[in-house]
Amino acid sequence: MPSPLVTVFPALERRFDSVSLGRFPTPVERLTPLERELGAGPLFVKRDDLSSPAYGGNKVRTLEVLFADARARGAREIMATGAFGSNHAVATVLHARAAGLEPGAILFPQPRSWAALENLRVTLGRASHLDVLHHMVLLPFAMWRARSPARVVMVPGGATPLGALGYVAAALELAQQIDRGELEAPDAVAIGVGSTCTSAGLLVGFAHAARLGIGFRSPPMLLSVRVTPWPVTSRFRILGLAARTSRLLAELAGAPDLALEKRDLAPHLTVDGSELGPGYGIASRSALSAIARFRELGLFELDTTYSAKAAAGFMARARTRADRPLLFWSTKSTVPLPEISSAELASAPPVARRWIRRAERELHAKGLIPATYANLLETDGTLSTDPRDAARDRHR
């Protein structure tokens, strides 16, 4: 299907390009079991975790635009940047070759988790060019050093106005689904915020959908649940990227009235930092509780770094606004990752291989493997710190 950006703004057809990586529109589902559990609703989920059978999640929409731009500039390689567990890096190495680009990554260490371990193995195994740093402070220099006429180096998360246009299109897609009667217009939309790209694009897209009367009479409140700390996920940064994105949209469409100011967007953004827990990449009590709840209700799997924290914020909002329609935007891929052999990791930089070995030992020693995350909660909802509890659960 053509991008909603083009169907809503036909002037973009000659000035906006993207490659086809995903299957859109992604489905919207009713979370009936969760409604009964929380006594709230109606509750919905936008399944962007299923955006591609190769690897889903929110990065697919962003990369469709950024890959097209890289090809237009004559690049043959494209590099993602981010932490060891970066979803953006995994999406890049799994999708770039379909767009005719060789994938690479510049990575730096993060707290050890199962999600980060799985992502790092795939990135190391499938990237054609790697630069593994000892600390994130080295990233700006590494990005500058890696750039060349034949290689594009993306900022973390692809968080640029061009990348955010992918989620302007996503917001319009949801608005069209509301118009078709697939769901009620939500009072609020809950989403995890890391690099800010997805939040910025949704803010702009919802604002324009409401202006045009597509799906919404007024923009929904965007509840951006922090999975990375301030100042990366500050309101100032989200609103700044959203305003720049709207200006780019106005320029491409040749319609100055499409440019929105921060003051136009700010009333529709709430940044929730209550679910961050100990920090980026570290499981929190509320995240583990969300994983357990989704499993018990037969819903899809959450991960501790991204989707579980966003789901915890979503459920907290549902409890306080029990009579309002609410939508959870699922942005972490639930598509199984490809198996990576030891041979594929043999040439990985030593610092990354050491991190993998230590992560495997540490996570298994603590019982922190996916099948037992939810079992680390005691019956009263507190977090068990005794690894023997998870070990017992693992062997049941």
Q: What is the pLDDT of residues 335-355, one digit of tens each?
A: 999 999 999 999 999 999 999
Mean pLDDT of 354-360: 92
| Contact partners, residue 13, CB within 8 Å, separation at least 6 | 6
H-run or E-run covering 209: helix 197-212
Give the span between the Cα atoms of 231 and 193, in whole angstroms. Answer: 12
H-run or E-run covering 66: helix 59-72
* pTM of structure: 0.92
Comparing 82-86, 168-172, 358-362, which segment has the lowest mean pLDDT? 358-362
Strands 269-272 vs 77-83: parallel, antiparallel or unpaired: unpaired
| Predicted confidence band of residue 147 (pLDDT cuts 50, 70, 90) | very high
Alpha-carbon separation of residue 228 from 80, 108, 129, 180, 385 (angstroms): 18, 15, 26, 35, 23
Count Cα neighbours of 390 within 13 Å in the Cβ-side half-sphere: 20
CB 61, CB 166: distance < 8 Å: yes
Give the span between the Cα atoms of 86 and 63, in whole angstroms. Answer: 14
CB 73, CB 356: distance < 8 Å: no
H-run or E-run covering 190: strand 188-193
What's the pLDDT score for residue 232?
92
Q: Which domains does the chain have, with CATH numbers?
A: 4-57+160-330 (3.40.50.1100), 59-158 (3.40.50.1100)
- On the question of pLDDT at 98 being above 80, the answer is yes
| Contact partners, residue 208, CB within 8 Å, separation at least 6 | 8, 168, 171, 172, 258
| 291's tokens | 């994983």
Give the span between the Cα atoms of 8 and 172, in whole angstroms. Answer: 8
pLDDT in tens, 43-68: 999 999 999 999 999 999 999 999 99
| 376's tokens | 């680390």
Give the span between the Cα atoms of 219 and 221, in whole angstroms. Answer: 7
For residue 103, whether the previous peptide bond is cis, meaning omega lies within 30 degrees of 0, is no
Give the span between the Cα atoms of 252 and 62, in whole angstroms. Answer: 17
Give the span between the Cα atoms of 388 and 69, in whole angstroms. Answer: 51
What's the pLDDT score for residue 282?
87
- On the question of pLDDT at 372 being above 90, the answer is no
- On the question of pLDDT at 127 being above 70, the answer is yes
